[in-house]
Amino acid sequence: MLANQKSIQNLKIFADYALLNASFIGGAVIAQSMAILLAKPMMFVLLLSLNIIWFYSAKAVKLYDEFATNRFFDYLSKLIRILIIQVLFSVVFIFFSKELLFTRNFILLNAMLLFAGAATKHLLLKKIFGVLRKKNKNTRGIAVLGEGDTGVKFKDSLLNNAELNYNFRGFLSLDDVSKIESVILEKRIDEIVIAIELKDYELLDGVLKICDKLAVKTYIIPDYFSLLGGKFKFSLFGNYPIITVRNNPLDEFQWKIVKRTFDLLFSGLVLLLTGWWLFPVIALMIKKSSPGNVFFIQDRLGRGNKTFRCLKFRTMSNIVSTGESKFTVIEENDSRVTGIGSFLRKYNLDEFPQFINVFKGDMSVVGPRPHAIPFNNSYGEIVEEIKLRHRVKPGITGWAQIHGLRGDVIDLEEQVKRTKKRISFDIWYIENWSIWLDIKIIYETVAQIVLKKNTGY
Give the percent of the chain with pLDDT over 90.
38
Q: Rounded distance, CA 225 to CA 231, Å?
A: 10
Q: What is the pLDDT of residue 263?
A: 95
**194-215: pLDDT as tens digits:** 888 777 777 888 888 888 888 8
Mean pLDDT of 411-432: 89
End-to-end C-alpha distance for the chain, whole angstroms:
52
Q: In order of start, what are the domains of the chain with their CATH numbers? A: 5-134 (no CATH), 140-227 (3.40.50.720), 251-450 (no CATH)
Question: Is pLDDT above 70 for 229?
Answer: no
Mean pLDDT of 300-329: 77
Q: What is the pLDDT of residue 18?
A: 95
Q: Which residue has the higher pLDDT, 406 or 193?
A: 193
Question: Is pLDDT above 70 for 456?
Answer: no
**154-164: pLDDT as tens digits:** 888 787 765 56
Identify the sign of the CA torsion 226, 228, 234, 237.
negative
**Would you tell me how many other CB atoms lie within 10 Å of the CB of residue 259?**
22
pTM: 0.61
Q: What is the pLDDT of residue 410?
A: 76
**117-149: pLDDT as tens digits:** 999 998 888 787 767 666 665 567 889 998 888
Mean pLDDT taken over the chain? 84
Mean pLDDT of 87-105: 84
Q: Which of 1-15, 211-225, 244-258, 290-304 has the lowest mean pLDDT?
A: 1-15
